[in-house]
Amino acid sequence: MPHLRALPITPDGGKYGFDLGQVSPLLRAAPNLTTLHLRKVYARDLPYQLKLKKVIYLEILGGMDGSELVSMLQLCPSVEELRYDCGYPFFGYEQFTPREAANTVIAHAPHLKKMELDLIEWRSEYEPGLGGPGG
């Protein structure tokens, strides 16, 4: 599928979505993807060697922990624009913290030009020292 440039992945109405590693054959078959839209997808079983080197726009709607964000940025090493919304469609304690997001982006997204990090559903009590009274 060398002509495929954009790929939105939205699983059915299941509560927790599915692991992006389940569609790794599809990702391998689309080496010219430039845009990846993910909803209710997590990234725990991605093949480490899989790289989407032409993806410059990455949108993730749903909760991920810090290691999953690292996996996503390693999957898309050329990403220039990252949009992340932690409150869609679910949110849980496995959500990465703002500090993890900052450290991960600095370490793994050297080409980043624009980032939208919507953490409205994130609560500062999950990471002491950030926000909130006395934080």
If you write DSSP's letter for every residue of 83-102 in order, what string do you get?
A: EEETTSS---TTPPPHHHHH
Query: Peptide bond before 89: cis, by omega within 30 degrees of 0?
Result: yes
Q: How many angstroms separate the CA atoms of 96 and 64, rounded?
A: 6
Helices 98-108 and 66-75 sit at what angle, rounded to 10 degrees?
Answer: 20
Confidence of residue 82 (pLDDT cuts 50, 70, 90): very high
Q: How many angstroms separate the CA atoms of 23 and 47, rounded?
A: 11
Q: Where are the domains of the chain?
A: 6-126
Say what the pLDDT of residue 134 is.
Answer: 38
The angle formed by the CA atoms of residues 103, 108 and 109, to the nearest 5 degrees, is 100
For the stretch 12-56, pLDDT in tens is 766 667 788 889 999 999 999 999 999 888 788 888 889 999 999
Contacts of 135 (CB under 8 A, 6+ apart): 124, 128, 129
Say what the pLDDT of residue 15 is.
Answer: 63
